Amino acid sequence: MEEVIVIGIAGGTGSGKSTLIDRIKNEFDNAVSILSHDFYYKRHDELPFEDREKLNYDHPDAFDTDLMIEHIIALKKGKTILRPVYDFVIHNRTKETISVEPKKVILVEGILIFENKQLRDLFDIKVFVDTDADVRIIRRILRDVSDRGRSLESVIHQYLTTVKLMHEEFVEPSKKYADIIVPEGGYNVVALQMLNERIKSLLK
């Protein structure tokens, strides 16, 4: 297996990480595998739905980061992994897994992927997507209501009680670990071009 390049893309909720990843993937097509930290939310079969709704999903303890680390190391060694599938409607993992094959470029995204040193040290390039809070909350509302079956009231309540606080405590401080800070994510054409050129140089 040729050397694998692992790129971590962090940033607050609704910052534009997914747009940046989509545009990088469009550039490199089948040379890219994608892992989201959201896939690795812990399973909570022991809790009823009402209690799962109340969990803090923006704290580092909400994630099975150790499993993600194992999977990235396996991909770097040229091994195929079976990554978890998380259902945001029921707030729990499903019994399904999805096969992810090793590729030349692995894009890893998540709000807290720079918070954990062991995970952070696996990245060859660390990118932080920096977007104004008002833009991020609007994007989160639109996403959670349309894609995740949430009510407007529940999204706003969650943002004010956990998301905002966790962003200030964990996400924003992790920006200092970034190699590159990209305002507005995939909508920043100049930064996207520079990042793509950096990836091309590493691939050579």
CA distances from 39 to 104, 131, 199, 203 (A): 21, 23, 24, 27
Q: Contact, 180 vs 24, CB < 8 A? A: no
pTM attached to this predicted model: 0.87
**Confidence class of residue 198 from pLDDT cuts 50, 70 and 90?**
confident
Q: Reduce the DSSP state of residue 181 to 3 states and report it.
A: strand
- 19: which 2 tokens? 């747009």
User: Per-residue pLDDT tens for 70-128?
Assistant: 999 999 999 999 999 999 889 899 999 999 999 999 999 999 999 999 999 999 999 99
Residues in the chain: 204
Closest CA to 86 of 97, 72, 102: 97
172 CB neighbour count, 10 Å cutoff: 15
Q: If DSSP codes are grouped into helix, strand and coil, which group holds residue 84?
A: strand
Q: How far apart are CA 44 and CA 33, in angstroms?
A: 27
The predicted pLDDT at position 2 comes to 61
Residue corresponding to tokens 């707030």: 91
Average pLDDT for 169-195: 89
State the maximum Cα–Cα separation within the chain, in Å, rounded to a whole number: 51
Q: What is the pLDDT of residues 113-161, one digit of tens each?
A: 999 999 999 999 999 999 887 888 888 788 778 777 778 888 888 888 8
Query: pLDDT value at position 157?
Result: 82
> Please, are residues 24 and 195 in contact by the beta-carbon 8 Å criterion?
yes
Radius of gyration of the chain (CA): 17
Give the DSSP letter of residue 4. P
Domains, the chain, in order of start with CATH, read 5-196 (3.40.50.300)
pLDDT reading at 1 higher than 60:
no
| Alpha helices for the chain (secondary structure H) | 17-28, 49-53, 65-76, 117-120, 133-147, 152-158, 164-166, 189-203
